[in-house]
Structure 1
Amino acid sequence: MKPFTSLSSPAVPLSLANVDTDQLIPARFMKRPRSEGYGGFLLHDLRRGGAGDTSAAVLDEPRFAGAACLVARRNFGCGSSREAAVYALADFGFRCIVAPSFGDIFASNAVKNGLVPARVAEEDVERLLQNESLLAGHPVVIDLAEQVIRAGNEVVAFDIDIGWKARLLNGWDDIELTRAKCREIDAFRARDLIERPWAAPSNNRPD
């Protein structure tokens, strides 16, 4: 997984709350293989006017071309546990989602796929959604090490689980996270073999 330290890119202002995983990628598109890319299906119905709703059409505005950050309102990624919702965001090019709160499973899936779920206060999200520099498509800086967002002259702090932060900064997936603890694991095994020799497999027991 690619490490995340900071990024500078336009940020798409999505002025919606309670964006659920069914909206992030409608189920009918999940029949396609991931290898084809899910980015084109991100928020499909809210971008293309499904049921007359184009509230996510902002994603396609030229001023936000190449955006790697999305700013939304509370409870982003609620609903089902489908990891394809994160795939759609990642395949579109996003590496950070800024919101006051996230669906728990969505946030966990995001981190496992290198996507930063940056939690900010509701009043700070509203300030970002009205920030002139952000709305003009100027780059916003997301600094994970410092846990701050810089948009023009605005500086906003964000929260993230300390374990998730370490994973993202180092680019660790589940296997790499385990490997990072190899010394502790080896030390425990050696100690446990002495303290509980009867519990070890027969081929590992001391003579």
Structure 2
Amino acid sequence: MEKFEKLTGIAAPMPLVNIDTDMIIPKVFLKTIKRSGLGVNLFDEMRYDRKGNEIPDFVLNQPQYRETEILVAGDNFGCGSSREHAPWALKDFGIKSVISTSFADIFYNNCFKNGILPIVLPQEAVDVLMKDAEKGSNARMIVDLENQTVSSSEGETFPFEVDPFKKHCLMNGLDDIGLSLEKVAAIDSFEEQAAQARPWV
């Protein structure tokens, strides 16, 4: 998993509340177990018409937001079913951080496991960042995980809280497999000792 330390990127405004995982990636695209290739279908039903043409008014279809790496969203982002395909689709599109006043618990935890930083901020802070994101590609936000701050393009800075263990994993690029591999020496030692103690197993 890619390390997350400091991100300077374009932020897209998505003020809708209760954006659920089916809106993020509709169930018809859940047939794959691959983490790649889902970005093209991110927000599919809002992004394309029935003929598969882009809907020009949708924020991620607008030229200034095609390289979006940060999403500023409405309350209760990621609610609904617990599908891990939702963070897969966000990450595959290029989004590395989502900012909201609240997230659904399972989605929130799945983000960390897939290299995405979900940030919870008070409504007042999200309002400022939402307005800043409306400026388009000329305005770039800074997400600093080490110092746990988000800065607007005008330099207004907001602190956020993050679990120390989740922070450690993101900053070191550790998913569940990576965490296990950190203990590979201890695992090998245990297996060797177990084989000597119980050679019949």
**TM-score in terms of structure 1 length:** 0.80
- Code of the residue aligned with 1:204 in structure 2: it is A
Match of 2:86 in 1: 85
Match of 1:7 in 2: 7
Aligned partners of 1:29, 1:202: CA distance in 2, in Å?
A: 45
Which range moved further: 133-142 or 81-90? Answer: 133-142
Aligned partners of 1:86, 1:35: CA distance in 2, in Å?
A: 9
Q: Judging changes above 3 Å, is the alpha-carbon distance between structure 1 residues 203 and 19 closer, same or farther for their aligned structure 2 residues? A: same
- Aligned-residue sequence identity (percent) comes to 36
Q: Judging changes above 3 Å, is the alpha-carbon distance between structure 1 residues 104 and 34 closer, same or farther for their aligned structure 2 residues? A: same
Contact 1:43 1:56 in 2 (8 A): no
Q: Judging changes above 3 Å, is the alpha-carbon distance between structure 1 residues 25 and 180 closer, same or farther for their aligned structure 2 residues? A: same
Match of 1:192 in 2: none
Q: Displacement, 1:178?
A: 3.4
Gaps of 5+ in 2: none
Contact 1:14 1:56 in 2 (8 A): no
- Code of the residue aligned with 2:8 in structure 1: it is S
Match of 1:71 in 2: 72
- Residue correspondence of structure 1 range 48-59 to structure 2 within 5 A: 48=48, 57-59=58-60
Q: Displacement, 1:136?
A: 3.1
Match of 1:174 in 2: 176
Aligned partners of 1:129, 1:149: CA distance in 2, in Å?
A: 12
Q: CA-to-partner distance for each residue in 1:96-146, whole Å, 9 max, x for gaps?
A: 111111111111111111011111112111111112x65232211111001
The CA RMSD over aligned residues, in Å, is 2.6
Q: Judging changes above 3 Å, is the alpha-carbon distance between structure 1 residues 35 and 178 closer, same or farther for their aligned structure 2 residues? A: closer
Contact 2:11 2:136 in 1 (8 A): no
Contact 1:134 1:151 in 2 (8 A): no
The DSSP-based 3-state class of the residue aligned with 1:3 is: coil
Match of 1:30 in 2: 30
Aligned partners of 2:15, 2:56: CA distance in 1, in Å?
A: 8
Aligned partners of 2:76, 2:128: CA distance in 1, in Å?
A: 17
Match of 1:140 in 2: 141
Q: Displacement, 1:202?
A: 8.0
Match of 1:43 in 2: 43
Count of matched residue positions in the alignment of Structure 1 and Structure 2: 188
Match of 2:18 in 1: 18
Task: Name the structure, 1 or 2, with higher relative contact order (CA <8 Å, separation 6+).
Answer: 2
Aligned partners of 1:55, 1:116: CA distance in 2, in Å?
A: 28
The DSSP-based 3-state class of the residue aligned with 2:22 is: helix
Q: Displacement, 1:179?
A: 4.1
